[in-house]
Amino acid sequence: MYQLKQLTMEPRNILEFAVKKGPARIIINNFLCAFAIALLVIYLKEISKQNTFDIIILQLTAAIPFLFTSSLSYTKISYRHPNEYHVWNNTAWLTHTIGYFLIINALFLILVFNKKYTIAFVFLGITIGLTLLYSIIDIVLDKKRLSEKLGKEFFYISCVVFGSLLPYNDKKLFYLILGIISLVVSLIFFFSTKKDKI
């Protein structure tokens, strides 16, 4: 924990950390990108013979450039000046998160539109539950991460609301308001977090 705090303070350590962090995150992005492409091809070839839902195709297609941009941003953190680390790291995190949740939302909607409601909501519940557990562990290890993690959790909720619940549910206004509130709250927490902690 002390070592991580040092990494946010000393430029040389930031660069050393970035060289290790960047490639690991790029591998995850590449896997998700390949998964999105494969799922999109399968969906267009098989499921769309019965019914085509543009919102699913849109989310799977949009996930690819978001994940690709995230990978490019993670490459930047390993060779750019340490002063630029936080800008590229935050860009990489944001685009990765959006790309990831576009895939999650598409999977949820595929299940819902094929009337697998229980599986769909269990899947969504597990996804949100695990992100929450991950954040709780992080906060327990260092309470200074509270604002950062709350900001991220509300951002995750807004991604799910806008991408999964809003297209699926008839109560559009309710979920639109819920999504906007989650997004605003996440921005409040982000802006209240110190730059070097995001």
Flag the least confident range among 107-116, 127-136, 163-172: 163-172
Same domain, 6 and 70: yes
Domain span at 135:
117-198
Whether the full predicted model's pTM is greater than 0.85, yes or no, is no
Give yes or no: residues 15 and 99 share one domain.
yes
The pair of three-digit structure tokens given for residue 187, joined into one six-digit string:
């921005």
User: Which tens digit of pLDDT belongs to each residue from 60-96?
Assistant: 999 999 999 999 888 888 777 778 888 888 889 999 9
pLDDT tens sequence across 159-182: 888 888 887 777 777 777 877 888
At 68, the amino acid letter reads F
Q: Tell me the pLDDT tens digit for each residue of 9-66.
A: 455 566 565 666 767 788 888 888 888 888 888 887 776 566 667 888 889 999 999 9
Residue ending a domain, among 98, 115, 132, is 115
**Of 67, 91, 115, at which residue does a domain stop?**
115
Same domain, 134 and 161: yes
In the predicted model, what is the mean pLDDT of residues 176-195?
73
The structural domain count of the chain equals 2
* pLDDT at residue 15, rounded to an integer: 58
- Would you tell me the crossing angle of helices 85-113 and 11-45 to the nearest 10 degrees? 20
Q: 50 or 149: whose pLDDT is higher? A: 149
61, 82, 115: which is the final residue of a domain? 115
CB atoms within 10 A of CB 86: 16
Residue 52, helix vs strand vs coil: coil
Taking a C-beta distance cutoff of 8 angstroms, is the pair 88, 25 a contact? no
Looking at the predicted structure, is the pLDDT value of residue 190 above 70? no
